[in-house]
Amino acid sequence: MALRTAEAQRAYRLVRRNWEALADFEQPEALVSFLTAREGESHVKDGLLAGLVVMVQTGAAASFFVALLWLSLWPGLDSVYRRCLRRTEQPPAEVVSSVAASFMALVARVNLSGVHRVAGTLVRGTERDVLKTWRKELVEQRQRARLESLTDVDGGAPSVPWLTPFASRARSFNAEVEELRAWLLPLTGEDTDLVVSLVLREEDAVEVAASLGLSPETARKRVRRALARLRKMKNKIPEKDFLSRNGGWGCFLEFVDSETTERAPGGGG
């Protein structure tokens, strides 16, 4: 449902009359602008997003409030789409479908009583569920491939067209990141998760900082500090092209050498 249709406008006016928090937002576009802006108090945004989730869960003009939720969380969901597109190597249309399905399933089941940051919970939870589903499908496909090869009565090479792509994906993006994280942990200590999130996974600094109870600037400063330490201890990190096939910034050591002197990770807020 578009936000400017007569039906959408009626649904918004009806809810606005009974929801005091919407008093400052005469039109739904104004609400979306507020929720997607960098400025604004996080607890106010959380309350508004929680209200939208409740509207969807209760089925009150659900399609309209689904549209509002999508638009209000679009910057984060768009980042999820781009990261999942890179990691899964699936066609864009399939990634969009997976993100949409995971997001709607999460909105339908989320228990808001245990949620502190609604935006972070929905965005990061959507990405988690997309990748979890993708990994499950890969496992099932590999199992079917093994069964095909075992039942090949001719004794020749199995004619399974997707075995070759699997070989090239033997080290998935997540596996490579986790391996590098293990090497970083003794070198960057408590800042390791920040380095992984902002540098390797290219996640949004505002969302990552909020999930850790930090300001975005504090998060970026800690990452810069950690990378400065890494430059001094580079010989302790194995000379290996981590992330060379699966995205990120390519060779991590090259990033430590050059990129950190020119840009702050997780920029854009």
- 84, 147: one domain: yes
Alpha-carbon torsion (133, 139, 142, 144), positive or negative: negative
Q: Which domain holds residue 159?
A: 78-168
* Mean per-residue pLDDT over the chain, rounded: 76
Out of 6-10, 204-208, 254-258, pick the least confident.
254-258
Q: Are residues 52 and 129 in the same domain?
A: no
Asked if the structure places residue 27 within a domain, the reply is yes
Overall pTM surpassing 0.85 (yes/no):
no
Residues 253 and 196 in one domain: yes
Residues 136 and 194 in one domain: no
pLDDT in tens, 8-47: 888 888 888 888 899 889 889 999 999 999 888 888 999 9
Report how far residue 187's alpha carbon sits from residue 198's, in angstroms, rounded to the nearest whole number.
17
Count of structural domains within the chain: 3
Query: What value does the mean pLDDT take over residues 44-62?
Result: 85
CB 65 within 8 A of CB 55: yes
Give how far Cα 170 sits from Cα of 163, 214, 240, 252, 264, Å: 11, 36, 16, 19, 31
Range from 175-184, 193-202, 228-237 carrying the lowest mean pLDDT: 228-237
Give the pLDDT of residue 201: 73
- Per-residue model confidence (pLDDT) at position 261: 41
| Residue in this structure with the two tokens 């919407």, named with its chain if needed | 22
Q: Is 131 part of a structural domain of the chain?
A: yes
Same domain, 61 and 94: no
Say if residue 49's pLDDT is above 90. Answer: yes
Query: Domain for residue 269, yes or no?
Result: no
Q: What tens digit of pLDDT does each residue of 77-124 get?
A: 998 998 888 877 788 899 999 999 999 999 999 988 878 889 988 998
Pair (45, 89) in one structural domain: no
Question: What gap in Å lies between CA 55 and CA 69, rounded to an integer?
Answer: 10
Sign of the C-alpha dihedral computed for residues 81, 84, 89 and 90 taken in this order? negative
**90 shares its domain with 61:** no
The amino acid present at 60, given as its one-letter code, is A
Q: Is residue 1 part of a domain?
A: no
Model confidence at 232: pLDDT above 60: yes
Task: Examine residue 266 and state whether it is found in any structural domain, yes or no.
Answer: no
Q: pLDDT tens, 72-89? A: 999 899 989 988 888 777
Query: Helix count (H) and strand count (E) of the chain?
Result: 13, 0
Per the listing, tokens 């006016």 go with 13
